[in-house]
Structure 1
Amino acid sequence: MVMTSEQSTRLKMAQVRLACEQEIRACCERSGLLATSIRESIKSIKPLVENAETNRGKLAMLKDYLKEMESTFREALKANASKEAKHASISEAISAMAVRIEYLKKTVDDQRAKKDEYEAVLSQQLLALQKIEEKNEGDVIEIKNLKEKTNWYRSVLGFHAEGGEGVKFIFSKIDRNDQDKEYWFVLRLDGDIYTLLHCNPELHDIDDLIEELNRTNGLFKFVRSMREKFQEISCKGTHSIAVSSPPPKSTDSQMEAFVQTNPSLQSKKRQAGSLHKVVPSPAAILTPQSFSARRRSPRFLVKNLP
């Protein structure tokens, strides 16, 4: 016999009703156990227990509201499904948050390690910077003194040096009739050998000076001797004593002290072969001492000019 739709619905309703009754009976049993436990453990909540007993009587009235409960039950199922989905979403979020927390902890540890490392490096850099600043202060004072002495040599002796194929030593204030007239010679250091490339005006009998220069490395003495040679030519040309006579011992002592206290002046730098290039700067003028500092070999060698 085929069941009608109405009978099928009634059968389902009866099954739901039976399930509800079973649930109600289970709830009643749990409520009784809960009431007993509450009475035994917490005597201070007696009014609540009495209220629970009253509610137990009201459970019978639920049968009259089964239809309402059916709709409510459906809504509860929907709400439960929504809660389960929300619970799953929250669980995933918690898992992701846990991973994120571990990553952040590791990042914090790495950043702390880097911070300690950077602090150590920064401390070292600050100490190095402090030393550099102290050195710079000394260099500024040294450069200032160097400029003053360089200006003194230019104004009093008319002496300065230029870089190029070799080192060009230039003198003025020698000729009494022309204080601006320049006397100069070009000296090159090729390995351990000094070579006189050019000389204006040309000087004779200076082979001994060059030989002594290569033997003793006394460049300062050689430059002073060359100036004296230029003064002799000037005196012979004018038949009188030049205004810029050979500098007295006090002047030579000042020049020698200047050279010895300023070893940091620009010097010849070795490049390909025997060719040396020097780029002069306004703040540094080549001196005999700084040029001769590049030669340390004791070989007694002389290279004669062609």
Structure 2
Amino acid sequence: MPDSRIGRSAAVTAFFSAAAMFSISAFADQKPSDDPVHAFDHAMLSIFHRGQDALTAQTRPVMIIARDVTVMTRNGEATYPRDAPAYQHLKSTSHVILGIIGAVTPWPDADDERWKEEFSSIVKEIDTFLAVIDGLAIAEDDVASQRKMLEIARSFAQDALDQGQITREVVSKAINDMRPIWAENMEKSARAELNALHSAVSDARAAMSDDEWAKMYVVHHGGSSVKDVNVVLLYLQRVMPEKVAAGQILFAENAHGNDALAGYAGYVRMQRHVGAWAFGDPERMRVDLLGYEAGAILDEMIPAPPPKPSD
């Protein structure tokens, strides 16, 4: 298994260089002005961006893992379906817990009636869903367990509405009563997602030469809050450890659409070129361009207090 520092490239890559990112994003789309400083900055960044665009165009093939798995080459692209209905159904049904938590967050005070409106909505949505649940494309025993979980949630929400009050203990009990079912949903959802992903990636691999596979970058549109244990990252660590070690696995949290995700691979490569040319270290731009200097300056500006006796 690759080093955890490499595995966490999903989080680190997004923060390559705060200073460089600011200068690029803040000025790249602006037109030159009469300000000579701004005009010069714009001219240099425009040249930089043209180089990055050219590098991005050369970054092929690139595998995009989003709703489906798409391999983009210089000659076009091929998409391999990543369909997993059971994953979507079981995950979505389990989101009833998120609805309950959202309804009581922030915790309502005596005058806050929002939770009642939200609980009424939960009851209504559960009733609507239960009317069609038998038609879901999942196993019969899964339909039965989803129905049971939703009925627990409905009974809890309706009882709270009937009593006109809610307590933390009652909310906690309802969630714990549903826990065995949504815990089982998590295991089955993960299995369904991994099976679908592995099938799509395997089909893509079979259509590529060894040389194409070796050069290929992989970009996944990762979730913005999941940093440490990510289903796709765990999968890629297992099936493409050499790409993880080589820095060819990238997570682009804020890119949307295949072109933007492929462009992110070009951006990362360009940052590595900057680090290699300017500092002799391709990974240097993972550190804020002003970071080391800022640390020393802050030592001067804000002296550290003496340690506490217990330290």
Q: Structure 2 length normalisation: TM-score?
A: 0.20
Name the TM-score, length of structure 1 as normaliser: 0.20
Higher relative contact order (CA 8 A, sep 6+): 2
**Larger Rg belongs to:** 1
